[in-house]
Structure 1
């Protein structure tokens, strides 16, 4: 156990003891805070919106009600992609989002959400906590008036929904696909047109003919949006987002004025979602895929090896090009790549090997490894 984890547990213990101490109650009741959180998710998107709502509720609970957080789904207070500017400017105090939506400010934002052929979700959290990722993230966000931390995630994503199976590289030429982040940049290099559409507008864009292919997380959310009824082909595995992390951000000026206890409350509420939301997606996706198969006859189609190899090759080139943007981009790419390289043998010998052998014995799944 590291000193960091020991200190964290000690601080949490102190937090609980302080809240329970009668003499501390009057001071603890002083300075009530009322924060507003805008999200990038529709209010009816149960998992992501539920994670944001839980984080807000846990901030209130951990502060014994002294900090109140009102949550606004995308489109109610502002657009899905306006939250970063709003928090940075101090118009609101909090957001829940995926920060690769803001790569127009710096492409390195992708590395704090997920990048093609990148880290799994547990690996991504490891890089942020123990590989220097959080310090780099703080450095970038400070320029925009924000402090943010990981607050859940969606894990490995599927390859997306298409009218026809992708069988060759030529098939990308006919695509106009909803896909964000560096994954979109990869497909553009391969001849596809790409757009970034907020979750609540995807179905409308499909009906309007603005897109003819899309990706959005995985089976649980895909079932919610009704994608199995709209497009015939569900491809796997996804190359674009192997470990997507959602973020909770706070206005840096607000963060700087918080005492250590309130900072710990914010961080702890976010960290709780790194367990709850992540596990909700892992279990929810598995159950939803089974439901798709029963109700709609959905049979995921495997991306051909030759196509995936080309996607992988292009992905490494595109994500590596962020190092050419400036010195900060270089430092992010080098840190992320070094951490991923250090985990290659362990991931192959543990997770990948175990899953392949387990599924071969059980016969329930086709191994993806």
Structure 2
């Protein structure tokens, strides 16, 4: 065959192939229905989830037709897990400690009182066996999860009265989920679980006396400074609150290896991005709360923290006793806290203390 004729035939074949392939590619679009535990456009939490949903569609070049539903738009915030486990939706974005009533092993994958900071839980998930344990737990419920965000060390919360001793916590109605809520129950408070969108109205009405939410940035936009006078620190309940994207296991299993890599990469990207964004904005909005809105900061004293520590020890032991899998998760978590925490005690914490003391500018 002459070279010119060959090129013409070959080019024509390529065009024909491309023309035939186009409808096939269009048919390969995959629906990805995501439900969330966060309200639409909530700074940090809601906007992070929305950004992740958009990023998945972008990275798959539109092959994934992503439909994102904020809390209450398809199901309630706390119904997200069942919506995904049942297959009615393909994935949720939220905080896994909301599911501790199903199994206490879910709690460490968000936060444990006196537990891991952001850098420590990140180390656990990536190098300390945390991801494998999350998958092992999720397999019992038809969920394949992975980290997709972190809000760092949280504030102790907003209170309508000063907390000067452990006695002041007794009878207090406080919005606080997860194992942190169990700690508050042991010190005599009454923990309440509420989605973020219902906190302000309950605090204003007096239905609750106190609440934790996240930190200065998120708390500012909920206007919690209008509803409570005292802002306490540091929070013992969530020292590095990890957020997760949980996929329906059957849906996840049907995806190609490359699509799984894309989804994993998108979640890892957002995990780092949200942590940095929250850390930056917490500093900005803490200054605003103090200087523009007159918020009164209060530090929990040693008496209160000792009561928290005693209660947290009991709560963690009780969670561990639930089942062999719960024990495996918590033992792994504690091993990382001891090992990585030993390094933290010689690195970040003392360095920041020395910096604050000796730097003159």
Shared fold per TM-score greater than 0.5 = yes
Residue 129 of structure 1 and its aligned partner are, at CA, apart by: 1.4
Q: Which of 1 and 2 has greater Rg?
A: 2
Q: 1:209 to 1:363 in 2, by over 3 A?
A: farther
For residue 230 of structure 1, the aligned residue among 227, 230, 237 is 227
Alignment check: 8 A CA contact 2:118 2:241 kept = yes
Alignment check: 8 A CA contact 1:236 1:302 kept = yes
For residue 297 of structure 2, the aligned residue among 295, 300, 314 is 300
Query: 2:255 maps to which residue?
Result: 258
Alignment check: 8 A CA contact 2:187 2:307 kept = no
Residues 165-198 of structure 1 show CA distances to partners (whole Å, capped at 9, x for unaligned) of 2100110113100000111101101100110100
Query: 1:185 maps to which residue?
Result: 182
1:216 aligns with 2:213: yes
Alignment check: 8 A CA contact 1:95 1:250 kept = yes
1:133 aligns with 2:130: yes
Q: 1:44 to 1:54 in 2, by over 3 A?
A: closer
Q: Distance in 2 between matches of 1:274 and 1:183?
A: 22
1:88 aligns with 2:95: no
Residue 153 of structure 1 and its aligned partner are, at CA, apart by: 1.1
Q: Structure 2 stretches of 5 or more lacking a match?
A: 1-17
For residue 247 of structure 1, the aligned residue among 244, 252, 256 is 244
Query: 1:109 maps to which residue?
Result: 106
Residues 232-289 of structure 1 show CA distances to partners (whole Å, capped at 9, x for unaligned) of 0000000000010011111110101111100011111111111111111101111010
1:275 aligns with 2:272: yes
Q: 1:212 to 1:29 in 2, by over 3 A?
A: same
TM-score scaled by structure 1?
0.89
Q: Distance in 1 between matches of 2:197 and 2:296?
A: 25
Runs of 4+ aligned residues of structure 1 deviating over 4 Å after TM superposition are: 25-30
TM-score scaled by structure 2?
0.91
Aligned-partner SS, 1:174:
coil
* Structure 2 counterparts to residues 8-19 of structure 1, below 5 A: none
**Number of residues paired by the alignment?**
342
Q: Distance in 1 between matches of 2:319 and 2:307?
A: 19
Aligned-partner SS, 1:69:
strand
Q: Structure 1 stretches of 5 or more lacking a match?
A: 1-21, 365-369
1:62 aligns with 2:71: no
Q: Distance in 2 between matches of 1:362 and 1:114?
A: 33
Aligned-partner SS, 2:84:
helix
Q: Distance in 2 between matches of 1:183 and 1:29?
A: 48
Q: Distance in 2 between matches of 1:97 and 1:344?
A: 26
